[in-house]
Structure 1
Amino acid sequence: MVTTRQGVRLLGPGDVDAFLDLARRDPVANVFAMYRARTTRLEPRWLGGEAWGRFHDGELVAACHVGANLVPIESREEDARAFGERALARGRSVSTIVGPTEAVREFWRTVSDSWGRPRDLRWNQPHLVIDGPPTAAPDPGVRRTMRAELDELYPACVAMYTEEVGVSPEVGGRNDLYRTRVAQLVSRGWSFARFDAGRLVFKAEVACATDDAAQIQGVWVPPDRRGEGLAVAGMAAVVELVRAEIAPRVSLYVNEWNEPARRAYARVGFQETTTFSTIMF
């Protein structure tokens, strides 16, 4: 396949091993990219987009996942600029740019004049990891959710998403798609919750996972139950369950202004390793 003057080309199934070798340089920060490569084999029809690679002397030195989310992988500033130039020629199709701050910032500098005004820019999102037992007592009531509980779980997922992202996942009639996504996480055993008298009072999901790490998303407690320690005990339980049955390291990233969540994660034993940034359209 012909490369561009910047050494960037489309990746495909023949590049999966090289892509995974690249992502393994930081298997926790790159867990999303590794999960997507393993489940799609970098086939555009399964990716719902493309994967790009940047090469130097025939070696893959950086990559970029371009689906609903654009995610730079092991990208230095010059790599992010090269991916940005390719993105300018292609036009914006993504709804989110997310990844390590330096790469996201340089990519955005390259495309910002042409890609339009984003809905939100979140430059400082601490990336947190725990690779041992939680330092808080786990809630014994937290467990995997079941399909029969979807009618209670789904509204909580919509509420969390709307609160976190600022727009409902059901906008534009996408409720069937989002409900299917929630149901898939339940079926996979990646959805965890605590119920009190049938009411959900804590939830969290695994967004993606490999043999090295699992990334948590969707941590939520109903507003009227906040301040009771449900998030601390709930996340401690999720960490125990995930480390025992899914992956040895657990990660997530959090908005810098969300002090209650950051305090809760610190009490569970999460440690900051790097900084992510997210740009949303």
Structure 2
Amino acid sequence: MSDSAKQGRPKVTPAAAVAKAAKNSEDIASLHYRITGTVPGRGRLEAEASMSTEPLAMSMQMTTADQGENGRLEIRFVDEVMYVGGSAVASEKLDGKSWYRADPAMWGRGAVDNNSHGVLPKQLEGNPAVQSTLLADSKDLHKNGTETIDATRTTHYRGTVTGSGLRAARDAAADQTTQKRQIESLDQFIALRVDGTLTMDLWIDDDDHTKQFRMRGKTYDPRGGAEGKQLDLTITFLDVNQPVTVEAPPSKDTADITTLAGGAPAG
């Protein structure tokens, strides 16, 4: 007897399960999440963040492994302004202040619209709630067992996604709502800078919500230089639709990036 039958839950196909989780992600208005993995150009990193969609805002603490405590950054996006502080900021450039600000800055939009002034890796500029839906367009989905993630029972699915597949899904969309979702998915894929195929794992809880996903693939160099390196990121959803408030630092403790000699002191 299957796990689903034992628990009195209807058996669903991997495609249906992943599609349901993608649909439920549309209701995410705020999110607290954790990121671990390796990003080209930054190496191993860890981050924890909270975001809201209305208004669009985000707060993140990120540490790069090779720099340890000296590589910690705190980044906030509020009202299309980015604020950056932390031990990785060269404090001698801040004229006694703890933060610098840069604008216009944008996080969580499409690949073209996002702008963190080089502080965040491009792969961390996307909205994880939308990134989690990419597997819905996989043509080789399969179930990969059950696992417990942060005390939550989940079903693990795996598949691959390509840019050409996402473009085909966008072009084949039967209605405006579906087309909008496909455009957002394609934008998030482009922002990942994956060269060819993205391998994706998705862990879905018993309430049909995403608990965790992992993205792996070789990236390309947008400047046309050397061959890209491997992307490997795991994003875990810690709290969903809980109150999130992101506030700008006090203006008296903030320096404008345009007034700093030598440009940005971090990133």
The answer to whether TM tops 0.5 is no
TM-score, length basis structure 1? 0.26
TM-score (norm 2): 0.26
Give the structure with the higher percent helix.
1
More strand by share: 2
